[in-house]
Amino acid sequence: MLRLTVAILIIISAGTFVGADARMYIVDQDGFSQYRSIGGVVAVAKDGDTIYIKPGVYRENIVLDKRLTLMPLRGEEGIINLAGDGNDIGIEVLADGCKIEGITISGFAGPGIYVESKGNEIRNNVLENNVHGIFVRESSGNLLENNRQIGGYGGIVLISSSENTIKRNVAEGSILAGILLNSSSKNAVSGSTARGCGRGIYLITGSRDNVFEGNSMIDCGYGVLLETGGEANVFRSSSIENATTAAALNFASKNLFEKNSITNSTNGFAFFSSSGNRIVENDLSGMETGIMVSGGSVNNLFEKNRIEGSSNGIVITESSGNDLAGNVMAGVRWALYVDGSTEESFDNDIPESNLIDGRPVLYLYRRSGEVVSGREFGHITLAFCEGCVVKENSVTNDALFVRGSRGCRIEDNVVSGGFGMRFDGSQNNEILGNRVYDNRYSGILLLESDGNLIEANNLSRNERDGISILGSDSNRVRGNSAEENGGAGIRLRSSNDTEITANTMTRNGVGIALMESSGCIVYRNNLIENRVQAEDDGENLWDWGVLKGGNYWSDHSCTGKPCQSSPRRIGEATADYYPFGVRDGWT
């Protein structure tokens, strides 16, 4: 009688009151209470009863098949540890309306807490080194709040469950995921943290209409990963730090990512075969790649995102129908890149509201006869255009790309500090009088582009070649100057029947290099103080006979216009048989 009186006084002094039909029980292992195991009390308790647990180690597993509350005894200090000892499940919740609070559950071969019922409240628990922390199956209306999961395979796992509230939980070091939703819909996840997990938040198998707000993912492989039909989910006002990929969408559609912060990650957003998603007003910094869209991802919207201090900004490959509007890139090494194996891959809407270091992006797709003149741009792309003129413009810190275009004239532009000018699969264009300098790649690059005229361009201090022509035939390279480029002034690889004349190559790594190319003719060029003046491993001509002569070589002395008895050797098999003894000797 004295023991029961003391127990009641403790409960009342702690401010806990229960209804007339509910009972209160105390569990302890020191003889204070008649109950020394939690399961022993559960066996005799009835719906609505409360079980207070004193600190100690309880080596048992609990099945709640009636509506009960498990919680610490008020005023007690110490840990209530429910220890696994080889059992599969810590607490199995099968009845509706249960409450579990303030318990440390550790070392179970399955979930620390398993829920297969409705309307439960699970708060302020620590779940350590269980296979899963909290596992919810085919359940709704549950509240999971302020729980901490440490280690294990998954932190909080929902299977075929809906309308649950998950807030202010922490998962640390979960191998698979901090929070995993499988075939689960209309759940709300807020204020939670995943740290050091394989995936911070992981949605699979058609999980949809879930809302994630104000969460934090730190040091995870994936901050957020949506796979296999994740649809119409909302991710808002969350932060992701130090991820390999901050947010990846694979075969996912109609999701919204809004006002999230992503920092110091390898990739920001990565899309593969995903459509109809909206990425709006997110901040990304310190990325390898800010936004990457690939694998047939279509009809996505990227609007008012900011990417700064990153290696790559927005990369779109093999994807179409995407809209980019009002995105801002600042201090990005390569801000915009669109590519693909088909023309359709370039059919994206990229208006001038997109800015690179404060300058607009010019993206023209399937335009004919358009003239763009006298402006400053952050980037220019002409994709499958015909007869367009791009004249007297500047592009700083990015690139000018021409893909699949014909008959265009690119004239008197300045391209600097980025990746130069690239022509890919483009025929019969004129590239005239441009100044291309201090770029991180070649100044002018031709890939599989035939019949173009490259004339009177100035190419200097580019990290690779001044002019690089790869897999491209029958081009004419005339009257260009290339100075102090890291590679060659002019380089041809697997490119045939090219005329190279009247160019001046000064202090480049190599003056003119012909590699795996044949049928080319090189004459009346000045090769001055290049580290290697010329290279040729094919069957090409380095002069046009005595009538027009060969080239001027700053390291070769001879007399005559041209010289006729002092050939300049180029490797073992090739020579300029009619070199000039002075610069511009043909004039």
> Domain ends where: 150, 174, 209?
150
Assigned domain for 256 exists? no
Taking CA atoms, 136 is separated from 92, 164, 194, in Å, by 10, 10, 18
Assigned domain for 266 exists? no
> Domain ends where: 131, 150, 169?
150
Measure the CA angle with vertex 48, ends 44 and 53; round to 5°: 65
Residue 305 corresponds to which amino acid? N
CA distance 49 to 9: 17
DSSP 228-273: SS-BS-EEES-EEES-SEEEEEES-BS-EEES-EEES-SEEEEEES
Q: What is the pLDDT along the chain (587 residues), one digit of tens a residue?
A: 333 333 333 433 333 334 457 899 999 988 777 899 999 999 999 999 999 999 999 999 999 999 999 999 988 889 999 999 878 999 999 999 999 999 999 999 999 999 999 999 999 999 999 999 999 999 999 999 999 999 999 999 999 999 999 999 999 999 999 999 999 999 999 999 999 999 999 999 999 999 999 999 999 999 999 998 889 999 999 999 999 999 999 999 999 999 999 999 999 999 999 999 999 999 999 999 999 999 999 999 999 999 999 999 999 999 999 999 999 999 999 999 999 999 999 999 999 999 999 999 999 999 999 999 999 999 999 999 999 999 999 999 999 999 999 999 999 999 999 999 999 999 999 999 999 999 999 999 999 999 999 999 999 999 999 999 999 999 999 999 999 999 999 999 999 999 999 999 999 999 999 999 999 999 999 999 999 999 999 899 999 999 999 999 999 999 999 999 999 999 888 999 999 999 999 99
When divided into structural domains, the chain yields a total of 2
Assigned domain for 175 exists? no
> Domain ends where: 89, 123, 150?
150
CATH number for the domain that contains residue 400: 2.160.20.10
> So what's the pLDDT on residue 534?
98
Radius of gyration for the alpha carbons in the chain, expressed in angstroms and rounded: 35
| H or E element at residue 410 | strand 409-411
Assigned domain for 293 exists? no
Report yes or no: 82 and 60 within 8 Å, Cβ to Cβ. yes
Assigned domain for 340 exists? no
Question: Rounded to two decimals, what is the model's pTM?
Answer: 0.91
Assigned domain for 516 exists? yes
Assigned domain for 558 exists? yes
Q: Which residue range forms the structural domain that includes residue 47?
A: 1-150
Assigned domain for 540 exists? yes
Contacts of 152 (CB under 8 A, 6+ apart): 127, 128, 129, 130, 131, 132, 133, 173, 174, 175
Exposure pattern of 93-127 as b/e (b: 16+ CB <10 Å)? bebebbbbbbbbbbbbebbbbbbbbbebbbbebbb
